[in-house]
Structure 1
Amino acid sequence: MSTAGWFLLIGGLLLFMGTGGPLLRRSPATSAIVYLGVGLLFGPTGLGLYHFNPLKESALLELLTEVAVLISLYATGVKMPVPFSWPLWRAPVLLATLSMALTVGLITAFAHWALGLPLGASVLLGAILAPTDPVLATDVQIRHPGDSDQLRFRLSCEAGLNDGSAFPFVVLGLGMLGLHNLGDFGLQWLMKDVLWATAAGIAVGVLAGAALAHLMRQLRRTPEPNAFLIDFLGLGLIGVVYGTCLLIDAWGFLAVFFSAVALRQTEMRLAVQNGTSAAPGSDEATLPAAPTVSGGTLIFKEHLERLSELVLVLLVGGSLFLNSWSWSAVATALFLFLVARPLGVFIALGIRRSPLPLQGMTAWFGVRGIGSLYYLMYAIQHGLPEELALQLVQITLIVITLSILLHGVSVKPLLNRVWQRN
């Protein structure tokens, strides 16, 4: 497709989404379904006006997905409830750790025994598909700071956490394929890639977010910065935190999420201490009178997130051919949605610890998307053999496509049913 064609396609989509919002809200379709449908129509599945090859463009796609996930993680982090409460965070932490590990293990077993993939490639596929996505799961995530919906919080927080907790499994799979040094008996992987990278990522994020909140408290004694400069602060925090983690071999996705959480938590706590909030009893009540970095940057980041969703889902649709729908790819998607994800959720959380409908909704809405695409491109850029790369690309694209369709068409009816009961 020519440059003019791309401008017309993306511009037309933006105009449609801007003017057709009320119609889309009344329909069962989500924005991602619209973008995917357009990609399938104009891509090789339909008219064949363009074709995007993820294998040849893996470096570009890795960068695009990396930026999209970082922005989404920041936007998710600043919407986390205040104040921090371990009983509230217990479920998403278990989802991002124990449920994640169980899901990786189940997918690994399926890929190795049912699909015949090598064990290392099976572990890698499990790590690619296990994490839920913070970019495409807009309809099941916290919509604003102070949103008290328990399901939305669980899914949002899980997506923020497991984009970092999946990385140790990614490098484990690469190591089993001879593409990463695991050390003797896996000790280097355990000490460096699991313990150090996770702890350092969390520490860098928390320290950077809290430091920015304290710095802005001091700067507020001067005239207030305009909204444009506050947007710069949010982007600057993402850049500094992620760059630091790359230098010290820490998990940057985890750090960016925790930096946003720490920024908001610290700003709200300082606001209460300064007496600029009405009452410390609820998230909404603790909003300070002065604008905050966490609040001021949110709208801009969400706009960037939605634009990246449009572009990347278009590319996913433009990567698929009719023969991409192999039995192995479809079977993997169904196994993930109907077996691996539910088992991981129910085992990790325990059936009796919360209402069964909440557990079932949590198990179903494990949306897969841009994060999985990033991990796949990361693996390709680290030397994944072409034959294996082609297999994993096909499976991952079909899983993402089916997730967009199945989770997309079910989200509004199921959430509406839950809200009506409540």
Structure 2
Amino acid sequence: MSETIGCLIFGSLLIFMGLIGSSLKRLPLSAAMVYLGIGFLIGPSGADFLSMTLPDDVTRLRIAAEIGLLISLFAVGLRLRVPPADRRWILPLRLGVVAMIFTVAAIAALGVLVLHLSLGVAVLLGAMIAPTDPVLAHEVGVRDAGDVERVRFSLSGEGGINDGTAYPCAMLGLLLCSSGTTSEALWRMVGGIAWGIASGAGVGWLLGFATARLVAFLRSRHGQALGLEGFFSLGLIMLSYGVALGIHSYGFLAVFAAGVAMRRVEHLTSGRKTPKEAVGVVDSKDIEATSTHPEKAPAFVAESVMGFTVELEHLAEAGLILLTGALVSRYWADMLTWAAAGLVAILLFVIRPAATQLALIGSRASHHQRRLISWFGIRGVGSLYYLTLALEQGPRAQLLPLVPWVLSIIAVSIVLHGISAAPLMRRYA
């Protein structure tokens, strides 16, 4: 796509969505469905303004998906205003670990026994389509910081956790694809997984907590570090991710933990008050008075950083789903197969519900809540990221046939969940 046409299309799209965005909330329609449709229309099967292929554009797509995930994971962490030892974390942890592992294993078994894939490629397929998506989950996730409604909190927490747990599954698949897989290599990987999870969550928490404390201290005690909340947001995302990669831990978990930790600092200061109650009425002529107040500074910082990050999240969603639509526009004919249709149906209507029921055994979630959680296992940018990661590092000849399948799951998920999100959540509320 030429620079001029690209600016015209994307600029018009953003203004259009800004004008009609609030109207979509009342309709069985999501912003992601609009982006997907426009991406298809400007792709090879439409106007051919945006043409992308795999594996030719795999690195650019992987970097774009990676950036989108990092922004969204940080935003999700900032929304989850619950102490780390609170029992409400149990459901997201069960979904992000137990349901995730079951889903990968079930898809891998299906891949080997029915689709006749090698074990490594089958595990990679599971890692691609098992994680639910934090970028698109805001349709059914927590609405703002302090929202602890069981379904919304569980879905948001799952989206934040399982992109981190999907990474070791992808690495296992890549290891199994290599010719020199040994028991020693598998044991080393087990140790690497334990280190990656613990150190990733730990380093993210420490950086998020320390940054939030430092900014609040400088503002309330010295009247410094004022404004530029977007710098703190992007800086903390990049610092957490960079440090995590530097110590060979899981960067996605680190960024998610950094967001949770920044929110925790605000929660400790605000106590029983909501963030908005803690901030109070802000005088537009003297914002500094609020941002430097000892009891209000942490809440002001957290809310300002979250507002900036959420805007970035929506921009990332627009760009990434537009690219996904262009890919669907190229591969749509290959997506219309019985194998793709069967895989989509089994994942959404059999494996996901079974994984959810297994993960929530003995929980306090009602049957209605369990059905909602099992249905809203949205697939999207996370699947695109792990697809491109596998194509970069794995055997491309064996992995390229998976492209239409993964795109089918993303497209069907965006449409079905986009249509059902508003009416189902409104009925549930």
**TM-score calculated relative to the size of structure 1:** 0.92
Q: 2:417 is matched with which residue: 403, 407, 412?
A: 407
Specify whether residues 22 and 324 from structure 1 end up closer, same or farther in structure 2 by C-alpha distance, changes over 3 A only.
same
Q: Verify the 8 A CA contact 1:234 1:293 in the aligned structure 2.
A: no
1:22 Cα deviation from its structure 2 partner: 3.8
| Structure 1 alignment gaps of length 5 or more | 272-276
Cα distance in 1 for partners of 2:296, 2:199 equals 34
What's the RMSD between the two structures over aligned residues?
1.9
Q: Verify the 8 A CA contact 1:75 1:298 in the aligned structure 2.
A: yes
Q: How many residues align?
A: 409
1:283 Cα deviation from its structure 2 partner: 6.5
Cα distance in 2 for partners of 1:369, 1:20 equals 22
Alignment of 1:40-79 (within 5 A): 40-79=40-79
What corresponds to 2:296 in structure 1? 289
What corresponds to 1:339 in structure 2? 350
Q: Verify the 8 A CA contact 1:54 1:61 in the aligned structure 2.
A: no
What corresponds to 2:290 in structure 1? none
1:181 Cα deviation from its structure 2 partner: 6.5
SS of 1:353's partner is coil
Alignment of 1:191-206 (within 5 A): 191-192=191-192, 194-206=193-205
Q: Verify the 8 A CA contact 1:329 1:398 in the aligned structure 2.
A: yes
* Superposed CA offset, 1:67-115 (max 9, x none): 1100101111011123344310101101011111001011111111121
Cα distance in 1 for partners of 2:44, 2:116 equals 28
Cα distance in 2 for partners of 1:196, 1:118 equals 28
Alignment of 1:312-327 (within 5 A): 312-320=320-328, 321-325=331-335, 326-327=337-338
SS of 2:134's partner is coil
| Structure 2 alignment gaps of length 5 or more | 280-294
Q: 1:304 is matched with which residue: 308, 312, 315?
A: 312
1:401 is matched by which residue type in structure 2?
A
Alignment of 1:9-408 (within 5 A): 9-178=9-178, 184=184, 186-192=186-192, 194-220=193-219, 221-223=221-223, 225-227=225-227, 229-269=228-268, 271=269, 277=270, 280=272, 288-290=295-297, 291-320=299-328, 321-325=331-335, 326-350=337-361, 353-382=364-393, 384-408=394-418
1:19 Cα deviation from its structure 2 partner: 1.3
Cα distance in 1 for partners of 2:366, 2:395 equals 45
What corresponds to 2:291 in structure 1? none
1:237 Cα deviation from its structure 2 partner: 1.1
Specify whether residues 262 and 23 from structure 1 end up closer, same or farther in structure 2 by C-alpha distance, changes over 3 A only.
closer
1:322 Cα deviation from its structure 2 partner: 3.3
1:180 Cα deviation from its structure 2 partner: 8.7
Q: Verify the 8 A CA contact 1:342 1:360 in the aligned structure 2.
A: yes
1:191 Cα deviation from its structure 2 partner: 0.6
What corresponds to 1:417 in structure 2? 427
1:398 Cα deviation from its structure 2 partner: 1.1
Cα distance in 2 for partners of 1:61, 1:217 equals 37
Task: Quote the sequence identity (%).
Answer: 38
SS of 2:261's partner is helix
